[in-house]
Chains A and B, each alone.
Chain A
């Protein structure tokens, strides 16, 4: 049980790669940097495979926890550097190490001509270290370490091209926006400690199991804790209202968007909600909040994606939307479905970003879809893989996304915490998802080229970029087949695997709703048919608007110009935040904190002290002016004073 006894290896490998690349990468040739920075993630994935093998051999009944050292102790407050492995960790770690490894390999090709090659890989490896820490942490504080660490790496990688002002601004925006969520998260952790006198999962889940479920309208401590933790998740996973950083984060190189802003970092919020399911399941108010935020965000972001012109921005809004689906799943208690969608989404969204990177690479840096077109024959591998991913995300039957999204919508419609309104929002979002994704495909790959074919030499990407894409495409097809047996009366293997993690919550949910009846099996087929129908409708709309009648889209946009503007300008949210929050803050900083307090008060008092010293010194120096006669005068005055003093004493 080598890896199970030495869990630290999995997180230490990328850290070693990062430090090595950072310190020595500047002086090494590219091949050496490749070896150090891509080799370590490959080793990490190999360790993960070994971990999976050992885990299945051992089949532990409870999470395997390894405590390495005590990090902080202060009275009752004790935080250890403890790593744990259970079924949920296995799934998350698989996504992180496998997709991470593929994207590192892809980046060898994509970043080949960029400055700071070694810096990129060092930061990516550091990200893998922090993300692994996040998913393997056995207590909330270590999770938060990973949480903050991935935020840091995200900032570093978004502003990778730091000489470009928009990139630097985007990095700051990402970090500051997620910080707002992290504020709530920190208070949530502190409140957890205040309530349970511990922060490690084992203790708090055992103690929480003894607490009763709280009412929908009567908010107890657990509800408040869950809402605070949710605030952190909203920031990190880019939900309403803190999603504004993710579209700007597209300033970073495309592999960064693929790894961090599609597959891993943004899923940390979903992971946290799933991990904290004993808390959330005892707080129906918090769960409803999660579900509502998820469903509304899913629809909202999808509508914005419909009107964007930059290929990466469309994918960014798509990510926000799909994360909404994951939150919706967790909010209705279908945690396994949410994690399943997390996994399949990692595959097809990472693939979509990698393929978009391939398109950008092929067209020499063009990102506006309206300047592309007709690329289908020229970059066939990119087209093929991207089409597979689009089918997956739209929910085409038998592709990975079909199973996961369908399960979420089914649980929203007929699950134990079903809510028709949320189901409606989700289904509408699915329609729009299919629509904008196929819009992307048609605008980019079909039709006539809208660029100057003599200036732009379209070429297929090198093998080192294509192979990871093909692997992800394969997974986008077969990644959902664990669940396939359920359609034929068999078992949902994924849900069964994760059952130990969510057992308590599922049992509690049944307790809270004793009248719940399992829906009939035929309902699953009907819901699946509706979902496919909706997706097909979206495909037809996109087909009509962009292939069959190419001018129809433009005519539609001009005829509903105000609506189109609203969507294109992203509901003016950035402008709103700028006017309501950022503007006043900057005014306050500049006019009060800077001019009044810093310059006036602090500088003024320090300078004032110096000024006072000079004045007093200037006055006192006349006593010793080098003039003997003044000395003589002072002697006489002193003598008189002493005499008078003695006379008074005698009296």
Chain B
């Protein structure tokens, strides 16, 4: 058996990488990918704990997260397309019309 701590550490590392990408990357697509990465890291943690305690709850929750992630990606990408068309750039710093 693989000790559960391996899964947790992997999940934490993936989540950390996701956060870093979310905060520091400039390309909007990359930020979205980082969001997906964070969601997947969380999924991994849920599955690991579900296996550990032999409960089905974690796995059910993972299904919910996958569905929400998909929906969110669809809507988000639609918004990005319109914004990118208007600002002619995928750089998140160029969406700054509300800046004082």
Contacts and interface: CB of A to CB of B under 8 A. Distances in A.
B85 interface: no
A70 interface: no
Contact of B99 (A626, A633, A636): A626
Contact of A626 (B22, B23, B98): B98
Interface residues on A, range: 10 to 19
B97 interface: yes
B19 interface: yes
A615 interface: no
A625 B23 contact: no
B52 interface: no
Contacts of B100: 621, 625-626
Contacts, number: 27
Interface string B81-100: 00000000000110111111
Given A628-B92, A629-B92, A636 B98 contact: no
Interface in B26-85: 26, 31
A632 B95 CA distance: 13
A627 B93 CA distance: 7
B15 to A, nearest CB: 11
B24 to A, nearest CB: 8
A288 B96 CA distance: 91
B23 A633 contact: yes
A626 B93 contact: no
B96 A636 contact: no
Contacts of B97: 626
Interface string A628-643: 1100110010000000
A404 B19 CA distance: 110
B62 to A, nearest CB: 20
B23 A632 contact: yes
The secondary-structure label for the interface of chain A is: helix
B12 to A, nearest CB: 12
A587 B95 CA distance: 63
A355 B26 CA distance: 102
A27 B54 CA distance: 106
Contacts of B22: 632, 636
Contacts of A636: 19, 22-23
A625 B99 contact: yes
Contact of B96 (A621, A624, A627, A633): A627
B2 to A, nearest CB: 26
A318 B26 CA distance: 99
Contacts of B23: 629, 632-633, 636
A626 B92 contact: no
A138 B59 CA distance: 100
Contacts of B92: 628-629
A621 B19 CA distance: 25
A628 B98 CA distance: 10
B19 A628 contact: no
A636 B20 CA distance: 10
B36 to A, nearest CB: 15
A627 B94 CA distance: 9
B19 A626 contact: no
B41 to A, nearest CB: 14
A633 B24 CA distance: 9
A624 to B, nearest CB: 8
A629 B96 contact: no
B91 to A, nearest CB: 10
A632 B24 CA distance: 9
A627 B19 contact: no
Contacts of A633: 23
A642 to B, nearest CB: 14
Contacts of B95: 628
A628 to B, nearest CB: 5
A636 B93 CA distance: 18
A636 B97 CA distance: 23
Contacts of A625: 99-100
Nearest to A640: B19
Nearest to B22: A632
Interface string A602-646: 000000000000000000010011111100110010000000000
Contacts of A626: 96-100
A641 to B, nearest CB: 14
A578 B22 CA distance: 80
A604 to B, nearest CB: 29
10 contacts: A625-B100, A627-B99, A628-B95, A629-B23, A629-B26, A629-B92, A629-B93, A632-B31, A633-B23, A636-B23
Interface of B: 19, 22-23, 26, 31, 92-93, 95-100
Interface of A: 621, 624-629, 632-633, 636
State the 4 A-B residue pairs at the shortest beta-carbon distance, nearest first.
A626-B99, A626-B98, A628-B92, A626-B96
Given A625-B99, A627-B99, A628-B92, 20 more contacts: A621-B100, A624-B98, A626-B96, A626-B97, A626-B98, A626-B99, A626-B100, A627-B96, A628-B93, A628-B95, A628-B96, A629-B23, A629-B26, A629-B92, A629-B93, A632-B23, A632-B31, A633-B23, A636-B19, A636-B22
